[in-house]
Amino acid sequence: MSELFIELFSEEIPARMQRQATENLQRLLCDALGNLSPQQIKTFSTPRRIAIQLAIKNSIPAQEVQERGPRTTAPEKALEGFLRKHQAQKSDLIEENGFWVLQKKVAAVSATDFIAQALPQIFWKFPWPKSQRWGNGSQFTWVRPLHYITCLLDGLIIPLNLATSEDDAHGLVCSNKTKGHRYLAPEIFEIQNAQQWEDTLEFRFVIADPDKRREKILNDITALTQKANLELVPDEGLLNEVTGLVEWPVPLLGKIDEIFMDLPPEVMQVSMRVNQRYFALKNKDGSPASAFAFVANIIPDDEGKLIIAGNERVLRARFADARYFWDQDRKTSLERRNKQLQNVIFHAKLGSQYERIQRLERLAGYLAKQLKADEKIAKRAALLCKADLTTGMVGEFPEVQGIMGGYYAKHDQESPEVALAISEHYKPVGPSDSVPTQIVSIITALADKIDLLTTFFAIGEKPSGSGDPYALRRAALGVIRIIRENQLRLDIKALFDFAVLGLPQALQSSGDLGLLSEFIYERLYVQLRSEGSRYDILSAVAPTKQFTDLVELLKKVEAITTFVATNDGKDLLAAVKRASNILRIENKKDGPHQGETDIALFTQDEEKNLSSALNKAMEQISASVKQEQFDKAMNSITTLKGPLDLFFEKVTINDENSAIRSNRLKLLSQIDQTACLIADFNQIEK
């Protein structure tokens, strides 16, 4: 195997694009070079480069290729097109089973020639989210101006040229040259192989491996904060972003003026994170620290004093703005701000945020009754939960909407339950975020998400494919998690029906509204699959994708999952499926075979015993399911295993006597009906 090494050196690549770019480079190369068996793949990225190292074969051996073409009776033009596509002659074809078949020998190709031919197309069509042109004339684009392309096979330069007959591609050709750190070691150096490149870059103040760079940032900041008796506020997103902003990370600590320490900590953290990419710190007791951490991309001469002073000055200005908004916003209560929501558009087809809070208040009242909560408090929280959208703070920092509403509600002396509900009503905002657990918070969060789903389905804006501009899938997952983690007994269908009645009359007849319960089901299916749970059992429990009580549904899924994991469960599952398959086949001939069995037509004890066991089990299962005692229901259906095994062993179902045959098929139908009291066992995989 030979080492192929590729580096693409450019101006600064946005941090958010680097990881995806290396994944795309790996995917495209592996697809294009599949015949060279790429393996042992390692990717690299820094702000100014993406690179890849992989092991490949030295050549593609000669081979014979057979490819079937058009029928021998096809028009001549079809044959001409096939020959033109494969650059072949008619003499290269043979007739086989009524088709023209091309047989040709493909000569061996060296890895160097194959790569030189394949790579220009990859670079010309590389899928950056945004690309730019530069210079004069060339249509070749890259995320930022591309300066060097390195492509080495065992240290030798592959003669790669991006130019075409019509475009010089900025004169970009393959070389073995690159640069180190922009400021600390900007000189050009030559690359011999991947290891030498990585080692030389590190000597020249560039850590090429993003995982190593990320680890260094985290370790160095942690060491600095521990020395100052502080702790880092975890922020994976910021850590990943900063990793993509620097090539040689040098963490430093700055101070925050005490006059800003009474600002809400969320505001301080967002201001530092969004505007300056600073890390928030906390004291050992968890309170916000009057310090922040940041990462420089150079080694300062004065231990960073000048850099720290400059960053402190910038942060001081940011916090002064936040202080102004904080003081001004508190002069107007949330209740008075609600009227301003008439001027805040929720959606062009759905009116203002003011109209929306009327719907939220109505939904909160309904949910309070269902969950036996204080209706007045729940409606108050829903009525005020969007008022902070009119504040200067949320206008400047949209990330703190809801959170600021909670702070302003406390200032307005609203009840603690209302303040907490307002601050938590967007939760959960992602898979790692917690769900509300206090009843008023739960109600407000559910009302917000139910209204979001109902209104956008009503105007035909349901998600399609990968598109979900209004985050409706996230809202549905939020509904599922809130209900599931708080074990709420709610009728989902009734809840959506009530929400629909709160819409303008013209929107209540939208056909998409009937899909809301199914949409929740589909999100639940995805969630169970991501958790590694038996999502096929969910399909068995709700084969029509319709349900009312989510908690009951999941209880049933859990009970069946436990049951089919046992030997008895597996055996019974197989027997029920066997009965169902036989019935399906025979029903196609002269079915359906349904209705009560005739005891007088039972000729064997095995039939009688199975019928008796079925009647008893059906009664027990119905009672257990009604009482949500699904474990008992599974125990009841297990009693059918013995009679079923003997029935299949001793009884010939397709008896010569048509009446006896029909009676036995009705018995199989009763097996199906009994199982379906719990689930459609045919949907359950082995």
Please, which residues have CB within 8 angstroms of residue 411's CB and are 6 or more apart in sequence?
A: 330
**In the chain, % of residues over pLDDT 70:** 99
The residues facing 49 across adjacent strands are 9, 46
pLDDT at position 106:
67
459, 458, 404: which is closest to 426 by C-alpha? 404
Residue with tokens 């900063």: 242
pLDDT at position 97:
85
CB-side exposure of 510: number of CA atoms within 13 Å?
22
Please, which residues have CB within 8 angstroms of residue 166's CB and are 6 or more apart in sequence?
A: none
Q: Rounded to an integer, what distance in angstroms lies between the CA atom of residue 500 and that of residue 209?
A: 53
pTM, two decimal places: 0.79
Around Cβ 39, how many Cβ atoms within 10 Å? 11
Residue 424 CA: distances (Å) to CA of 116, 248, 334, 409, 415:
56, 39, 16, 12, 14
Which value, in Å, is the radius of gyration of the alpha carbons in the chain?
34
CB-side exposure of 119: number of CA atoms within 13 Å?
25
pLDDT at position 35:
80
Q: Rounded to an integer, what distance in angstroms lies between the CA atom of residue 273 and that of residue 279?
A: 7
pLDDT at position 488:
95
- Residue stretches of the chain with pLDDT short of 70: 62-63, 106, 686
Amino acid letter for position 102? L
Helix or strand or coil: residue 147? Answer: strand
pLDDT at position 686:
67
Q: Which residues of 436-473 are buried (b: 16+ CB within 10 A; e: fewer)?
A: beebbbbbbbbbbbbbbbbbbbbeebbbeeeeeebebb
Pairing of strands 49-56, 39-46: antiparallel
Both tokens of 365, joined, read: 């009242």
Q: Rounded to an integer, what distance in angstroms lies between the CA atom of residue 345 and that of residue 330?
A: 23
Contact status, residue 539 vs residue 560, Cβ threshold 8 Å: no
Residue 186 CA: distances (Å) to CA of 80, 192, 382:
57, 18, 58
pLDDT at position 592:
86
pLDDT at position 423:
97
